[in-house]
């Protein structure tokens, strides 16, 4: 346990799970029971067929995230959970922006606007145009500010997806899980591994 | 890609078809028999009729106990599981039958009791249509079960139940619920031979033991001057009583228990220094904040044990043995986390600790015991007051039962008296609702305990309030003829709340003045023998009569109305601030 002042920051929780009806609820109530808001939640396939991957973003202290991660991993259908601060992951969010075509075509330098924001037009109709961009929160936010003057009709941002920089994937871990007598890969517990340093006589 | 998780790749053995197709209902009961179940607690209803119909032909293998309310059924299954160490099994119908299990599921989860609850559900095609007696029991019970699953096809039944039993009893045990739609119960299918579940790839019953931590723990223990052991139910759940005793005796360390851990070391053992927690013994609470190494074994640092956390054992280095990694560092940071099944870790630790004694340190516990006897215990067990005390009832019972009985207590003042004063020679001798504090637990749990341990005397100790919460289970006692001895300690109050109101709310006795029926007459209505005692001279003969009586007996003892349980760690205080009065 660190004695540094507890600082809240964004953590990316990655959970590898079975594909099971009701598991989303099992995981969601771990947060809601503690009155913790989920900032972002994405459920998708993983690199392995049949194994799902949850990406959950919350802003909490490391100690709390630690405990939450253990509680998630305790769920019967969850194979493995990791948690990382933003610096340890590559992450992206996608956003869609709907604007009136006449306004944007007339008043904006569309080509420059798209280039500067790494955006592209997904749909162009007589009545409206939909732009898309992908990136960090600041990037998707900044395009909102740019488009607001042109009568932004609708905006939506996707959940965050994140890849752990240090991860070497789940294939060999899964093989360990499938063994009755697992080796160190499954026996390891990331949440307690730094214990090696804790104890001194 | 999205295959049913129940037919996930790890399922191995090839199905061997039986001669004729069977119904899902029959497959359910065959699974129970294959899992070694002999007793089921249940209540029939519309959505589970097919299983009850099949049960008609299974009565030689399965003893079905018809309870009077599903809550009584699940508490009885808890009592059965706790007394026997086996999985308790409950049958209930959909809707209200299922929701009546909720309290028991929450109780069993927090107290790590292995249960398999099977609920009927409406036909699969009616799910989500607000059909008669439909309720979303899976989502209702998700936070209060270790695992739950809804079966909508008969073919899923054998594997779902195999998983249910494996999950209920393995690792840190807990309740599981399998919800079976009526069509799945009725459907005929070619059932494969029943294959018990021994592995689920996403589930680790216990973490792998790390020898390095065991070594570190042993070094800490060997260098300690004032080591102190706290043990909980994990020792009992792991059937590690022998290993635990060997560890305690070799290390010579004083050991105190949580209320669910009681009995793992006999109450009379010289190194057993008593009970922890809010109404625990004086020495173990005070000295928690003076020990230098705290060794917590199979316990979870509940707030009723720790009192105020930021003043709890701050001076101590903590060794925490637990099978559940989420318990490590949850409430009290561990210096050394020895995770794993204590049946496995304790012998490793015992091998590395030096044989020692701690006479001066142990004497400090005895000093506190002497103070507690003078201030509290003597007057409670051998009162000079005219009115009877709860403690003297336990004392008389101890003298008669010699610590051999199973005590089943309800929740409240009498529970604390039962925990503090009952003598226990054996593990699995005290069944009580610890974590959830469920009033109404004891009567049905006692029925289950007796069926789970038929060779032992089972005495339910219940308050006048809690008894009225599940009083209907007297009907179950009557119909089954199960031999439970029932002691009602009647102080004509909801005593524990009254105590708090007296101590912390200026004696504003808000709605704790509870009236009771003539309990002996009620028992008589159920053809259960009974007696009421309000004079000291009658107590001993009445207890003797109760224990000698062939069959159930209800003994109502009128005790002091406004007696308080002490010592007490007031809420929000440190364990060292425990009050003797």
Complete domains list, chain B, with CATH? 22-189 (3.40.50.970), 211-365 (3.40.50.1220), 383-558 (3.40.50.970)
- The Cα B428–Cα B461 span in angstroms is 16
Query: E strand or H helix at B186, and its extent?
Result: helix B182-186
- Residues in chain B with CB shorter than 8 Å from the CB of A176 are none
Q: Which residues contact B140 (CB under 8 A, 6 or more apart)?
A: B98, B99, B102
pLDDT recorded at residue B16: 54
Q: Contact B487/B533 with Cβ under 8 angstroms? A: no
- The Cα B382–Cα B357 span in angstroms is 33
Cβ count within 10 A of residue A184: 8
Q: Contact B70/B118 with Cβ under 8 angstroms? A: no
pLDDT recorded at residue B11: 46
Cβ within 8 Å, pair B325-A76 = no
pLDDT recorded at residue A4: 53
The DSSP line for B549-577 is SSS-EEEEEE--TT----SB--TTSBGGG
Taking alpha carbons only, the member of B145, B88, B136, B149 closest to residue B114 is B88
- The Cα B217–Cα B332 span in angstroms is 16
Cβ within 8 Å, pair B199-A195 = no
**Which bin fits B566, alpha (ψ -120 to 50), beta or left (φ > 0)?**
beta
Q: Which residues of A81-95 are buried (b: 16+ CB within 10 A; e: fewer)?
A: bbbbebebbebebeb
- The DSSP call for residue B481 is T
pLDDT recorded at residue A191: 55
Cβ within 8 Å, pair B5-A18 = yes
Burial of A168 (0-12, 13-18, 19+ CB in 10 A): exposed
Q: What is the ipTM of this complex?
A: 0.92
Cβ count within 10 A of residue A154: 10
Contacts of the segment B374-380: beta carbons below 8 A, 24+ positions apart: B375/B566, B375/B580, B375/B581, B376/B566, B376/B567, B376/B580, B376/B581, B377/B421, B380/B417, B380/B421
Residues of B catalogued as catalytic: 70, 132-133, 182, 496
**Alpha carbon of residue B350 to chain centroid:** 28
Interface residue A32 vs chain B (CB under 8 A): no
pLDDT recorded at residue A169: 85
Interface residue B199 vs chain A (CB under 8 A): yes
- Residues in chain B with CB shorter than 8 Å from the CB of A191 are 325
Q: Which 3 state secondary structure label does DSSP give B152? A: coil
**Which bin fits A121, alpha (ψ -120 to 50), beta or left (φ > 0)?**
beta
Which B residues, 277 through 336, put their C-beta within 8 Å of a C-beta on chain A?
Answer: 324-326, 328-330, 333, 335-336
Taking alpha carbons only, the member of B511, B470, B520, B500 closest to residue B562 is B500
Q: For the segment A49-104, what is each residue's pLDDT rounded down to a tens digit?
A: 999 999 999 999 999 999 999 999 999 999 999 999 999 999 999 999 999 999 88
pLDDT recorded at residue B56: 97
- Residues in chain A with CB shorter than 8 Å from the CB of B9 are 50, 178
Burial of B2 (0-12, 13-18, 19+ CB in 10 A): exposed
Q: State which residue of chain A sits closest to B223, comparing Cα positions.
A: A201
Q: pTM of the entire structure?
A: 0.94
Interface residue B3 vs chain A (CB under 8 A): yes
- The Cα B74–Cα B463 span in angstroms is 20
- The Cα B173–Cα B234 span in angstroms is 10
- The DSSP call for residue B221 is H
pLDDT at residue A47 is higher than 50:
yes
pLDDT at residue A193 is higher than 60:
no
- The DSSP call for residue B579 is B
Interface residue B1 vs chain A (CB under 8 A): yes
pLDDT at residue A1 is higher than 50:
no
Cβ within 8 Å, pair A45-B324 = no
Low-confidence ranges of chain B (pLDDT < 50): 1-5, 7-12, 18
Structure tokens at B463: 């308050």
Runs of H (alpha helix) within chain A: 23-32, 62-74, 101-107, 110-116, 137-147, 171-178, 184-187
- The Cα B377–Cα B241 span in angstroms is 28
- The DSSP call for residue B307 is B
Q: Do the bridges between strand A120-124 and strand A78-85 make them parallel or antiparallel, or are there none, so unpaired?
A: unpaired
- The Cα A158–Cα A91 span in angstroms is 12
pLDDT recorded at residue B3: 42
Between A170 and B432, name the one with better pLDDT. Answer: B432
Taking each helix axis as running N to C, give the angle between helix B342-352 and helix B211-223, from 0 to 180 degrees, rounded to the nearest 10. Answer: 50
Taking alpha carbons only, the member of B575, B497, B111, B494 closest to residue B304 is B575
pLDDT recorded at residue A192: 55
| Nearest-CB residue to B208 (from A22, A67, A187) | A187
- The Cα A84–Cα A164 span in angstroms is 8
Q: Which residues of B279-307 are buried (b: 16+ CB within 10 A; e: fewer)?
A: bbbbbbbbbbbebbbbbbbbbbbbebbbb
Q: Contact B80/B41 with Cβ under 8 angstroms? A: yes
**Which bin fits A22, alpha (ψ -120 to 50), beta or left (φ > 0)?**
left
Taking alpha carbons only, the member of B178, B170, B215 closest to residue B197 is B170
Greatest Cα pair distance, chain B, in angstroms, is 75
Q: Contact B361/B254 with Cβ under 8 angstroms? A: yes
Taking alpha carbons only, the member of B438, B332, B316 closest to residue A67 is B332
The DSSP line for A26-66 is HHHHHHHTTT---SEEEEEE-SSTTEEEEEEEEEE-HHHHH
- Residues in chain B with CB shorter than 8 Å from the CB of A184 are 208
What's the mean pLDDT in A105-132? Answer: 89
- The Cα B43–Cα A55 span in angstroms is 43
Taking alpha carbons only, the member of B407, B373, B404, B411 closest to residue B393 is B407
Q: How far is CA B167 from CA B8, B50, B116, B155, B527, in A?
A: 16, 25, 9, 20, 40
Q: How far is CA B130 from CA B47, B149, B181, in A?
A: 14, 20, 14
Rg (CA), chain B: 25
pLDDT at residue A182 is higher than 80:
no
Between B474 and A166, name the one with better pLDDT. Answer: B474
């Amino acid at each position: 346990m660190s004695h540094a002042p507890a600082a809240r920051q964004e953590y990316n929780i990655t959970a590898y799970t079975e594909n099971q009806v009701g598991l989303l609820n099992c995981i969601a109530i771990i947060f809601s029971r503690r009155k913790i808001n989920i900032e972002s939640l994405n459920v998708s396939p993983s690199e392995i067929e049949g194994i799902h991957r949850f990406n959950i973003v919350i802003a909490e202290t490391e100690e709390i995230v630690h405990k939450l991660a253990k509680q998630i991993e305790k769920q019967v259908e969850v194979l493995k959970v990791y948690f990382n601060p933003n610096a340890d992951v590559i992450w992206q969010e996608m956003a869609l922006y709907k604007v009136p075509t006449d306004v944007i075509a007339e008043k904006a330098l569309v080509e420059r606007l798209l280039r500067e924001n790494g955006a592209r037009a997904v749909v162009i109709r007589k009545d409206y145009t939909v732009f898309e961009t992908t990136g960090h929160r600041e990037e998707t936010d900044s395009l909102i500010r740019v488009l607001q003057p042109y009568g932004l009709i609708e905006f939506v941002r996707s959940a965050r997806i994140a890849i752990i920089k240090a991860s070497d994937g789940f294939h060999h871990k899964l093989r360990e899980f499938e063994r009755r007598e697992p080796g160190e890969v499954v026996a390891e517990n990331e949440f307690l591994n730094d214990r090696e340093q804790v104890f001194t006589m | 890609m999205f295959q049913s998780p129940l037919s996930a790749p790890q399922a191995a053995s090839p199905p061997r078809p039986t001669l004729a197709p069977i119904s899902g209902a029959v497959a359910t009961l065959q699974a129970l028999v294959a899992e070694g179940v002999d007793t089921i607690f249940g209540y029939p209803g519309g959505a589970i009729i097919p299983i009850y119909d099949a049960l008609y032909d299974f009565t030689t293998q399965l003893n079905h106990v018809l309870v009077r309310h599903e809550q009584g059924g699940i508490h009885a299954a808890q009592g059965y599981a706790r007394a026997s160490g086996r999985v308790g099994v409950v049958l209930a119908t959909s809707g209200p039958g299922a929701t009546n299990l909720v309290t028991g599921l929450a109780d069993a989860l927090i107290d790590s009791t292995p249960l398999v609850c099977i609920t009927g559900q409406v036909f699969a095609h009616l799910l989500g249509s607000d059909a008669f007696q439909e309720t979303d029991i899976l989502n209702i019970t998700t936070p209060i079960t270790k695992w739950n699953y809804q079966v909508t096809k008969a073919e899923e039944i054998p594997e779902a139940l195999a998983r249910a039993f494996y999950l209920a009893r393995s690792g840190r045990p807990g309740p599981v619920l399998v919800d079976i739609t009526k069509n799945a119960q009725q459907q005929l299918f070619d059932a494969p031979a029943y294959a018990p579940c021994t592995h689920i790839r996403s589930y680790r019953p216990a973490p792998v033991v790390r020898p390095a931590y065991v070594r570190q723990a042993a070094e800490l223990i060997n260098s300690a001057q004032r080591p102190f052991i706290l043990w909980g139910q994990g020792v009992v759940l792991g059937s590690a009583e022998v290993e635990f005793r060997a560890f305690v005796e070799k290390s010579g360390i004083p050991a105190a228990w949580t209320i669910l851990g009681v009995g793992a070391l006999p109450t009379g053992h010289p190194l057993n220094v008593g009970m922890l927690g809010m109404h625990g013994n004086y020495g173990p609470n005070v000295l928690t904040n003076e020990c230098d190494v705290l060794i917590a074994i199979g316990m979870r640092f509940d707030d009723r044990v720790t009192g105020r956390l930021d003043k709890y054992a701050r001076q101590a280095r903590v060794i925490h043995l637990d099978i559940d990694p989420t318990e490590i560092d949850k409430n009290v940071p561990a210096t050394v986390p020895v995770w794993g099944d204590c049946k496995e870790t304790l012998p490793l630790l015992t091998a590395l600790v030096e044989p020692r004694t701690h006479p001066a340190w142990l004497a400090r516990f005895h000093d506190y015991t002497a103070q507690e006897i003078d201030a509290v215990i003597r007057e409670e067990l051998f009162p000079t007051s005219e009115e009877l005390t709860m403690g003297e009832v336990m004392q008389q019972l101890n003298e008669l039962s010699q610590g051999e009985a199973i005590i089943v207590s309800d929740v409240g003042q009498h529970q604390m008296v039962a925990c503090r004063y009952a003598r226990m020679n054996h593990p699995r001798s005290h069944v009580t609702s610890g974590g959830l504090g469920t009033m109404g637990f004891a009567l049905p749990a006692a029925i289950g305990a007796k069926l789970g341990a038929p060779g032992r005397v089972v005495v339910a100790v219940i308050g006048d309030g809690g008894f009225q919460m599940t009083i209907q289970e007297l009907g179950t006692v009557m119909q089954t003829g199960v031999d439970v001895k029932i002691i009602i300690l009647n102080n004509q109050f909801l005593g524990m709340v009254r105590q708090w109101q007296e101590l912390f709310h200026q004696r504003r006795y808000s709605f704790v003045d509870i009236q009771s029926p003539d309990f002996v007459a009620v028992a008589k209505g159920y053809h259960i023998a009974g007696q009421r005692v309000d004079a000291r001279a009658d107590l001993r003969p009445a207890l003797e009569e109760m224990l000698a009586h062939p069959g159930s007996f209800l003994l109502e003892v009128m005790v002091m109305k406004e007696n308080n349980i002490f010592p007490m760690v007031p809420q929000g205080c440190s364990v060292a601030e425990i009050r003797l009065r």
